[in-house]
Amino acid sequence: MYLRKTQRRNKDGSAVRYVQLANNRRVDGQTQAEVLVNLGREDRLDLDALRRLVASINRYLGEDDDVTAPLGTQAGPLQVESSRPIGTIWLLDQLWKLLGIDTALARHLDGRRFRTDVERVLFALVANRAVAPGSKLAAGEWATRDVVIPGLPELDGNNQALRAMDLLIEGDATGAVQETVFFAAAHLLNLEVDLIFFDTTSTYFERDGEDEESDEALRRFGHSKDHRKDLPQIVIGLAVTREGIPVRCWVWPGNTSDTTVITQVKDDLRTWRLGRVVTVADSGFSSEANLAYLTRAGGHYITGVKMRETSKKADAALARQGRYQEVRDNLRVKEVRLDGDPGRRWVVCHNPAEAARDAERREQQLTAISDELERIAQARTADAKKAKDKAAKTGKRPVKPNDAVHRKAECALRDHPSLGRWLKQHPTTARLSIDRAKVAAESRLDGKYLLATSDPDLSAEDVALGYKNLLEAERSFRTMKSTLYLRPVFHRLDERIRAHVLLCWLALLLIRVAERRTGTTWRTIRNELGRIHQVTLAGPAGRLQQTTRITDTQARLFKDCGVPMPPKMSGIQTTE
């Protein structure tokens, strides 16, 4: 059924329009319009009666009445005061409550009363990282003027944000809040926590020097994974599940070595009583002391092993003969057990496609080296011939040509970051040549990587695929640095640096939960729900907030996340 208009013309040429309620039906295979009700001339319609009819139909369908009509009556029209996005913030807020983060923070604050709702301020800071990351001062203006933060009318300046950050990490709150939130997420998403993936990264500060007030200060120079060795930094550790859900984060001084942090990670997670846990880490954490510590209290590990460093056990595992087992099109595995090492299993993994790429890349580099060595040799020969010809013309003894230019070219080739590894320098002549023994040794490692595990139950296939999931930790770091703008950090106090990382961790958690429940990237979710606005309308009879129409795609995102949609009407205020 639908409303349609018809018209007729009077003798004087004027048009008269009529409104009808019609319905289409098929007669003899053709669609014909059937008039159900003649509502009368368009210029004489009772519009209030039509509105009451629409309201009655809405009530029957279970939808709210349109309450904007009484506010803009004959006394004057409605005016739009503001329009701000609410969709993405609403989703994050509902997930925030669903994971019990608000409850965990309330428990941490221990019933203390503040002039500002600290929990709402912290949510605004987390939402700002996920939607439009900026400084804490910019986050206050963003939360007050640019978006709708439920329960937070405004965020007054920078002081409230910094005070909330101080309260977030007060005492032992960091570990307690993370533990409560993680177990809520594990229960909500039915997460598997038998494998915990751990990795570290670094992030820098825009300042010239490191902190000198204390030896335990966070901002220190160290090995930068951001390729900014000129700036002080901190080291961040992150543990995630195989689904990419963050478990916990840590912050250490920028000069901290990877081999020194695994004991703290093990101790902190052990207090959570996760049950049977296999820690997955890369080769940077595979010292014998760390591996022994990970096996305490029934724990186990899966770790990468450095193949190019001197290790008799690694060499023995790679040299052991055996048949590979096909796991996937691009992965074969072979399990090896060594005598004298009964508590450890070795898994050799081979990727045929990667082996072909390694061989092709190496051949290209060797060709470039050969061409450069040939060019240098020809240049030397040409200089020698030129000197000899000049001596023959002048009748003088030939002068030995200056070899400094050619030696400089050889030094540049030897010190090249990718080509120099294939060269060796002869002790007598100091000439360069390709190290064929190094080439043969590297060719045996094409497409291979070596794993070690202490778990006696996991199959070689599960070990290999479990280690590949370590990419989830690396993906989380990329999200924190790009989407959440973790870097550069502009805080000075150590406590606020830790709070900044924890805010990014909470934002990452909300993002991963939304992605997992919807099967959609956060960028798509953010852009789609960002089109939902809350419009503030004001009229002579009062004011209210109305949410723009929600599309089927947007409704599906809310449904997949298991949260309700924003209300159509809210904040109704009348002048009576």
**Cα separations (Å) of 36 from 3, 49, 280, 320?**
10, 17, 71, 87
pLDDT at 74 over 50: no
402 vs 260 pLDDT, higher one: 260
Percentage of the chain exceeding pLDDT 90: 32
Q: How far apart are CA 550 and CA 565, in angstroms?
A: 9
Please count the other Cβ atoms lying within 10 Å of the Cβ belonging to residue 400.
9
Is residue 342's pLDDT more than 60? Answer: yes
- Asked whether 477 and 225 are in contact (CB, 8 A), the reply is no
pLDDT digits 0-9 by tens, 455-505: 888 889 989 988 888 888 999 999 999 999 998 888 888 899 999 999 999
214: tokens are: 């204390």
In this prediction, residue 287 carries a pLDDT of 85
Residue 76 confidence (pLDDT): 57
Are 504 and 369 found together in one domain?
Answer: no
Is 340 within a domain? yes
- Is the Cβ–Cβ distance between 144 and 154 less than 8 Å? yes
Give which of 70, 217, 230, 18 is closest to 572, Cα–Cα. Answer: 70
Two structure tokens written together for 51: 């509105």
pLDDT at 65 over 60: no
List of residues 6+ apart from 543 with CB closer than 8 A: 71, 81, 536, 537, 571, 572, 573
Residues 201 and 243 in one domain: yes
Tokens of 281: 């880490």
Whole domain around residue 496: which residue ranges? 187-282+470-517
Q: What is the arithmetic mean of pLDDT over 4-19?
A: 80
Q: How far apart are CA 535 and CA 145, in angstroms?
A: 13
**Confidence bin at 71 (pLDDT 50/70/90):** low
Is the model more confident about 34 or about 252? 252
Could you tell me if residue 182 is inside a domain? no
In this predicted structure, what is the pLDDT of residue 18?
85
Domain identity same for 57 and 125: yes
β-strand partners of 425: 432
Round the average pLDDT of the chain to a whole number and report it. Answer: 85
Please, which pLDDT band fits residue 66 given cuts at 50, 70 and 90?
Answer: low
Integer Cα distance of 298 and 321 in angstroms = 31
179 domain-assigned: no
Residue environment code for 73-108, b if the CB has 16+ CB neighbours within 10 A, otherwise e: eeeeebeeeeeebbbbbbbbbbbbebbbbbebbeeb
The string of pLDDT tens digits covering residues 519-530 is: 999 999 999 999
Whether 527 maps to a domain, the answer reads no
Do 378 and 495 reside in the same domain of the chain? Answer: no
Which residues have C-beta within 8 Å of that of residue 329, sequence separation ≥ 6? none
Q: Running DSSP on this structure, what letter comes out for residue 142?
A: I
% pLDDT > 70, the chain: 94
Predicted confidence (pLDDT) per residue in 359-381, tens digit: 999 999 999 999 999 998 888 88
The answer to whether residue 81 sits within a structural domain is yes
465 and 344 in a common domain: yes
526 within a domain of the structure (yes/no):
no
Residues 396 and 503 in one domain: no
pLDDT given at position 361? 94
- DSSP letters, 473-503, are HHHHHHHHHHTS---SB---SHHHHHHHHHH
Rounded to whole angstroms, the Cα distance separating 455 from 294 reads: 11
Judge if 54 and 145 occupy the same domain: yes
Same domain, residue pair 127 and 68? yes
Whether residue 192 is predicted with pLDDT greater than 50 in this model: the reply is: yes
Report the candidate in 246, 124, 248, 175 with the shortest Cα–Cα distance to residue 516: 246
Taking residues 347-361, what's their average pLDDT? Answer: 92
Q: Which of 443, 478, 495 is the last residue of a domain?
A: 443
How far apart CA 251 and CA 201 sit, in angstroms, is 10
Report pTM.
0.78
Per-residue confidence (pLDDT) for residue 122, from 0 to 100: 93
In a shared domain, residues 388 and 254: no
Instruction: Note whether 456 and 371 are same-domain residues.
Output: no
Q: What pLDDT shows up at residue 88?
A: 96
| pLDDT number for residue 233 | 93
Q: Look at residue 173 in the predicted model and tell me its pLDDT.
A: 63
Task: Decide if 91 is inside a domain.
Answer: yes
Q: Which pLDDT tens digit goes with each residue over 86-101? A: 999 999 999 999 988 8
Is 168 within a domain? no
Q: Give me the number of domains the chain comprises.
A: 5
Nearby residues of 466 by Cβ (< 8 Å), 6 or more positions away: 195, 242, 278, 280, 302, 458
Q: Do residue 346 and residue 361 come from a single domain?
A: no
Same domain, 454 and 434: no
- What pLDDT score was predicted for residue 310? 61
- Which residue did the predictor score with more confidence, 349 or 111? 349
Q: Region 533-550: what's the mean pLDDT?
A: 87
